[in-house]
Amino acid sequence: MKKILTILALFWLYSGYTVLAEPATLIGSEQCFMCHDTQKEAWGANPHRAIKEECEACHGPGSAHQDSGGEKKLIKRNPGEEVCDRCHLTNSTIEAASNPRKLSRKLWENSVHQQMGFSCLNCHDPHKIKNYRLLKINGIKWNCYVCHADKKKTFEASLHGQNGVRCNDCHLPHGSENNHLLKGSEGDKYFCQKCHNEQPHHFIASKVSTQINKLTCLDCHMRHYSAKKFLKFKKEDLCRNCHAEPY
Q: For the segment 78-123, what is each residue's pLDDT rounded down to a tens digit?
A: 888 889 999 999 999 889 989 988 999 999 999 999 999 999 999 9
Q: How many residues appear in the chain? A: 247
Mean of the pLDDT values across residues 172-191?
A: 85
Categorize the per-residue pLDDT at 52 as very low, low, confident or very high, splitting at 50, 70 and 90: confident
* Residue 229 predicted with pLDDT over 50: yes
* Residue 202 predicted with pLDDT over 60: no
Mean of the pLDDT values across residues 9-22?
A: 49
Selection from 80, 83, 75, 78 nearest residue 32 by Cα: 75
* Residue 17 predicted with pLDDT over 50: no
The predicted pLDDT at position 18 comes to 44
Residue 200 CA to residue 203 CA, distance in Å, equals: 5
Task: Work out the mean pLDDT of the chain and round it to a whole number.
Answer: 81
The predicted pLDDT at position 231 comes to 82
pTM score of the predicted model: 0.75
